[in-house]
Structure 1
């Protein structure tokens, strides 16, 4: 039909009614001869699988994109960056105008304190995320106050809970007796409360910490004393031994677990009991408790647990990591592969002759000191060189006797010919000043023991006696007490 509509749209025509008895044209499709020799075609089976109603969590980048498209938050974003006026006449901006001092913008996301301001298009999904485990109205509000905000957030949470058939089907009866609170513990696992809960024939050992409100549910095969001791022993291996075990406050933990599991059953999600317990316990441990005002994980583990809701907050660490990666890519764009040299390989050494002038002098690798550093023999001297100051050389260049000034830098390791004992700059002897007219680095009474050193010349003048670096130290005789007496 769409194809005919496109074809007919190119014509100018008038539609006139004609009765059926006036129709004399043949219907070609109804009178088309069908051949008896039909070709049987083979069809390929196509299988289609669908994800189990799993949605990817909302990230801060999604919120930044939705903020730009939101008609209200886009104005709030601009006013937060440029400055708010002294008066506001727009009723939609009034909630943000009252909080303008605490508003900020980070990576395109509007923040009110530490809470992310959510655009209109993403609020429903985040309400479903908060209400996923059916923890109740108060717990949803406590959890939301640590991550997100928008105008009338508490009212929207109350409306979601009141319209939820699962929550309404398992809601609690009103309390009639006054509550007698327990004395609050002062440290984790000082006092724990234990009890058993039964869910569809499966026994669950409920452990509730009186200090942090940390809750744990352990499936057991039977509710015998030996089974209880074995499960608690495994739990205490991770948490340590408690000072007191009671049954009083565990009923609250049993109530939370059974209520949440029944809500899961009403939702009809085909998850195993272990899956449901894992999701429930994680959400309970990250939700601030109404008594302490702090999440159980922060009191028990001294840290916040990472969840799907953590992704909606801007990640400064990821931004720094991406920036450092770009710096590395820009820096390494023109860098070639690290040069490798081997012992005995001929090289040319970049040598400074004087300030601002240098030349390449022949030498060979005496020892490999590290991935980038080498001991290089240049003439009758040894230098500690970086690979950036070395070039591979295959030509047989004459070994020059370098000028003394060439090795006045820190790269000079030894001022005397290399002997068998020279291994690293730390083992090199102390440098001593030499005369500019000195032409030999060995004295008459110090023979050359290395085969790499050039033979001595009998016509070479005797070297100048080196001047000591430090003056001679005068030592006074010690004064003893018995001599003074």
Structure 2
């Protein structure tokens, strides 16, 4: 017993009385029962959830992951060419599809109903920064009368102050239409209109056409202000408002001053 391992076994087994019996490997089931004497199993049996979970846990760590495949694919000359071919083909195909596809049908616009009396529904919006200033635009849907205020800030508090200034002249309206800007959707603004018995509606997000009255007023305001070359911003604004209010509108056939004030302010 020259081998040290066999000597250790002999020392360990010296405390016991035993008899060594030879057994053929095909009959020796004690050594490796799982491989030498397999049990008969039903192949069609579905694995239990416990076995499946245990298998998934053992297979959680793989030799190669997706990031390694991506990294080495880009380094490989052939595979990188295949990758560029596929990406370019997809880009060309998508561009052709977008160019040849039919445009989705646009939903017909439902115009606002024409109010029964002046200052019933007003549309409001901010214009700017324009000429380094911000402006609050207010349009009466009935007469197309415009009120414009120069704004030092566009907060809810500042917006409410300008509304109060206009309402002190023309009275409270029934309905305000605005976009979803922060100044119009704040709790402070909601409390103000509720306190004064005014209904407030917002236009559809990303769809400014639903507040088209204010959008057109903003466009007319910017175009008109650019045509006035002399004077301060307030002087230009006063001049624009005067000219706009006495000019007949294509939609009504009358000047805003005639419809709102029942007279022609050009003689004032």
TM interval, short-chain normalised: 0.3 to 0.5
- Name the structure where helix makes up a greater proportion of residues: 2
What is the TM-score when the length of structure 1 is the normalising length? 0.26
- Name the structure where strand makes up a greater proportion of residues: 1
What is the TM-score when the length of structure 2 is the normalising length? 0.46
Higher relative contact order (CA 8 A, sep 6+): 2
